Amino acid sequence: MLDLIAASFMVDAGILIIYVQAGTIPPVVAVAFAVCGLVVGSILFALSESGFNDRFPDHYLTVPTTITHLVVIVGFAAWAPQIGAVLLFELFVVFGFAALRADRRQALICWAALLSVLTLLFLLTDLPIDLPHQSPLERFATLLALVSTVGRCMFIGAFSKAMRDSLYKRGVQLREAYQRIEELAELDELTGAYNRRCIMQHLDNEIARAARHGEPLSLALIDLDWFKRINDTFGHPIGDEVLRTFAITIFANIRNFDRFGRYGGEEFLLLLPNTDKREALLIIERLRMIVAELDWSAFSPSMTVTLSAGITTMTLDESTEAVLSRADQALYEAKHDGRNKIAYA
């Protein structure tokens, strides 16, 4: 923004030089205008780089900057009234920049300052504020002033749109990042299943829903058999891939309203809403067979992976701890019975 302000001053100084060549104004006016632009730009740059303006709520210093430019422009219009109208064109650019930054209160202050200064210029003086057009060179300079002013105003509009588009894209990116954070907060990083906190929350919700609607709720604690041997024999990276493959397999073979999460280590919890004992046994038995029949030779020719599961169905007014305790007891029975089996409590 400071670069654009400085460039705008230099454009107008260049146009003033043309008026000097046309004999409309003395050279000192053009030189003084360029120096003023350089000084104002340098001061704003120094304040910005020093962090001075960061101590204010409006760190752009919109009102002081706008009023400073207003005074400079109107002062030069009073000094050289023969090109006063051309200099006043610059006010459109100044207030275009201010509009990008000003809130309602600041806009009113800037507008009141504009009204006050122009009232002094037009009503309390008899200066002939002129638009030079006598000679061809003056007409050319006036044309340049008008066209460059309109061009800069259009550039400000395009710049404003680019800022809005950038803010909109940033907002979309932030929403996507927030959604991703929420997903990561719910999911186990290794397997993509719900993490323990999330699956336990789903369990509480499903217990409450089942009690409210009088529907059956079954759940299964699932444990991969001899998983420690897999880690010890083939290494932890292979063990991680086994867990991922197992989780993907379960996801691909459960219903869209079932909930599957990592309970801890190689132990998983599967919630089966609106599912009675008979259906739960069929579902878990089918999953057991699918996992046992998978071709695990991609990890090692000698590898086999099986699961054991403990199943239970919730009773009325039963606590979360009681349901999990019965499922855990059933899992213990399945593993005690030789593994690669399911048991119902």
Residues of the chain with CATH 3.30.70.270: 196-344
The three-state secondary structure class of 297 is helix
Biggest alpha carbon–alpha carbon distance for the chain = 109
The model's pLDDT over 156-179, given as tens digits with 9 standing for 90+, comes to 888 888 888 998 999 889 888 887
The model's pLDDT over 56-91, given as tens digits with 9 standing for 90+, comes to 888 888 899 899 999 999 999 999 999 999 999 989
How far is 278 from 285, CA to CA, in rounded Å? Answer: 11
The three-state secondary structure class of 180 is helix
The model's pLDDT over 229-249, given as tens digits with 9 standing for 90+, comes to 899 888 899 999 999 999 999
Q: Is residue 142 very low, low, confident or very high in pLDDT (cuts 50, 70, 90)?
A: very high
How far is 135 from 147, CA to CA, in rounded Å? Answer: 18
The three-state secondary structure class of 249 is helix
pLDDT number for residue 218: 95
pLDDT number for residue 144: 92
Question: Per the structure block, which two tokens stand in for 299?
Answer: 């990890």
196-344, CATH topology level: Alpha-Beta Plaits (3.30.70)
Using an 8 Å Cβ cutoff, are 193 and 200 in contact?
Answer: no
Pair type for strands 259-264 and 217-224: unpaired
Hunting for tokens 């006036």 — which residue is that? 142
Quick one: how far is CA 120 from the chain centroid? Answer: 48
pLDDT number for residue 107: 92
Please report the sign of the dihedral spanned by the C-alpha atoms of residue 132, residue 136, residue 141, residue 142. Answer: positive
The model's pLDDT over 256-277, given as tens digits with 9 standing for 90+, comes to 999 999 998 899 999 999 999 9
Residues 6+ apart with CB under 8 A from 183: none
Q: Is residue 182 predicted with pLDDT exceeding 80?
A: no
pLDDT number for residue 52: 85
pTM above 0.75, yes or no: no
Using an 8 Å Cβ cutoff, are 68 and 37 in contact?
Answer: no
Q: At 45, which amino acid appears?
A: F
User: How does the average pLDDT of the chain come out, rounded?
Assistant: 90
Residue 146 burial by CB count (10 A; 0-12/13-18/19+): exposed, middle or buried? Answer: middle
The model's pLDDT over 278-334, given as tens digits with 9 standing for 90+, comes to 999 999 999 999 999 998 988 888 888 999 999 999 887 778 888 899 999 999 999
DSSP 8-state code for residue 194: B
pLDDT number for residue 183: 64
The secondary element (H helix, E strand) that includes residue 277 is: helix 277-293
Hunting for tokens 């397997």 — which residue is that? 191
Q: Is residue 47 predicted with pLDDT exceeding 90?
A: no
Angle at 128 between CA 127 and CA 131, to 5 degrees: 140
